[in-house]
Every structure is written in structure tokens, then in C-alpha cells.
Amino acid sequence: MSAFVRRPAVRSALLAATLGALVLGVTAPSQAAPAPRAAAVKSAAATSTVGGEISRTEMIQRVQYWIDKGVPYSQSRYYPDLQGRSYRTDCSGLVSMAWHLPISATTWSLPEYFAWGSCGARAGLANDHADPFPAEPPAAQSNMTHLTPVGDLDGDGKPDIIAVEKRTGDLYRYSGPDFGGGSREKLGFGWNGMSDIVGIGDVTGDKVADILAVDKDSGDLYRYSGPHYNGSTRTKIGTNWNTMTGITGVGDLDGDGVPDLLAIDPSDHKLYRYSGPGFAGGSRVRIGTNW
């Protein structure tokens, strides 16, 4: 029977107890002399690699190391594990340290490391009673999302793309024609808060492609001006866009020289055209049914 599990199988009771201990600054009592405990923890903590497979035993012992050190709770301070990698000393930082993640994840980014596996959730999985089932290999997943063509941003005459890194929410530009990692440039952060990102072409008249994005919480539609798409260029141009699907930039359809937008209303399965540059509801025209 394998002793290795993926990180979501960490014991619920353990996390609750250790999180409480860190918040209160309580040091858990040791059952052995300090030197043997430190040696045992160091040995177990050296078993895994950063971001790699980790056993339940090692997770427990990594957390115990912080408890023994009396690490206080803080959202701004960091403390190292036994290998010297520092983690933020709040709740998410503790989980990141226990799981031996490459970063101090946040409440919002921790789910990127959480998966039940291809066998699905089953009773006892979260509290270690599912060992009789064979371990499942992690499903292959892309590191990037919202791959969006945006035309030539770097002035080399070749079209580029932008994409959001799932783990961090950072926005990157990749230069064409190969879009290799060596060409990527970080443009911004916090883009995992968007549910849709659409290349729309130039709607501001500056000869550089702009993008539209929908805030997943509010449903508001924002325009970001190229080539950097930073927050200072963002303009709110609509609301309730989280009720639409299939949002797509299609160029100028109505002959006014400004790019337009297509979107599907899932309530009636109809396809609508929204005229730029404002893409307001008053400009929408139904152009199809049964979409």
C-alpha cells in the first residue's frame, strides 16, 4: 500500500489543529527529546522535492517543525523550512510550507494545487481512509489559460499572443511567430480574477490592439489599452457580461470602422452583435438563433 498521497489528502484535523496553534502562537508539546525530533523532521523533510510528491508523514513533520519553533502568525512575515525556503506565516503560507510548494500561495491560488484525481472524490479521501484504492497519477494540465491573439504588440511585424498563468494570475505577452517562453514578457498580475479575455483590435484609435475582459465577480466589462494592458488604462464599459457566453472579437461588422463584438445569450440561445467602441446594450443586434 503506497504511503504517498497528493496534497489534498492532508488530514483535516491536523490542519485545523496546526493552524490554530500558529494563530495562537502555541508550541505543541514534544513526545521526544528535542535533538531526536529535529533529526527525524530533517530526514523526513528532505524526502520530497519542491512542488513534487509528498507523503502524509512528511507533511505532518514539516508542520511540526514550525510548531516546535513557535512561529507566530503574520500576513507580512516569512519563516524558512528546514531547507531554508521561506514561506509566509499565515494560514495559506502554512499549507504551502506543509505541501512543499514552490511559492507561498494565497487563499485564491491554493485551489490550483488541489485535485481529487481521476478517480474522483470518495468517502475517506480527505482523512486518509482511502488507501486501499490505488493512487492516481495527476491529470495533465496546461500552465496557461486565456490564450488570446492581439496582433503585433512588439513592433516586429508578427502577431503576438497574451496568456494568463494559472498558478499566479500573471499576464504575459508571447512574441510571434514561435511564441516561445524565451520571448515572454510579464505585463500584469491579478488576471485570474477575469472570466473572459478577448482580443478586440484597436478601439481607442492609437493603432495598438486593445482587449476586453469580464470581471468574474461583478460581471463588469472592462477595456484595457495596448500594448501593456495595465490597470491605468482600464475603462469600465459595461455591466452584467457574466450572463453572456462565447464573447468574441470579430472586427468591423457594421461598417463604421470600429471593431465589434459577438456574444451568446444562454437564456435564449441567440447570437448578438455589439457595436464598438462602447459595446453597449443599446447597440446590440440579434443576428442568429439556436446558438
pTM above 0.85, yes or no: no
How do residues 259-278 score in pLDDT, each as one tens digit? 999 999 999 999 999 998 99
In the predicted structure, residue 110 carries a pLDDT above the cut 60: yes
Higher pLDDT, 105 or 130: 105
What local confidence, expressed as pLDDT, does residue 46 receive? 58
Residue 79 and residue 94 in contact, taking contact as beta carbons nearer than 8 Å: no
What local confidence, expressed as pLDDT, does residue 6 receive? 42
Q: How confident is the model at residue 9 (pLDDT cuts 50, 70, 90)?
A: very low
Percent with pLDDT over 70 in the chain: 74
Which residues make Cβ contacts (< 8 Å) with residue 221, sequence separation at least 6?
212, 213, 214, 236, 237, 238, 239, 241, 279
List b or e across 173-189, with b for residues whose CB sees 16 or more CB atoms inside 10 angstroms.
bbbbeebeeeebeebbe
In the predicted structure, residue 34 carries a pLDDT above the cut 50: no
How do residues 140-188 score in pLDDT, each as one tens digit? 567 898 989 998 888 889 999 999 999 999 999 999 888 887 888 999 9
Higher pLDDT, 139 or 9: 139
Which of 238, 199, 200, 198 minimizes the C-alpha distance to 218?
238
Residue 186 and residue 170 in contact, taking contact as beta carbons nearer than 8 Å: yes
What local confidence, expressed as pLDDT, does residue 36 receive? 47
Q: How confident is the model at residue 25 (pLDDT cuts 50, 70, 90)?
A: very low
Q: How confident is the model at residue 138 (pLDDT cuts 50, 70, 90)?
A: low
How do residues 216-253 score in pLDDT, each as one tens digit? 999 999 999 989 998 888 999 999 999 999 999 988 99
What local confidence, expressed as pLDDT, does residue 114 receive? 60
Residue 21 and residue 64 in contact, taking contact as beta carbons nearer than 8 Å: no
Higher pLDDT, 77 or 16: 77
Higher pLDDT, 267 or 108: 267
How do residues 180-215 score in pLDDT, each as one tens digit? 878 889 999 999 999 899 999 999 888 899 999 999
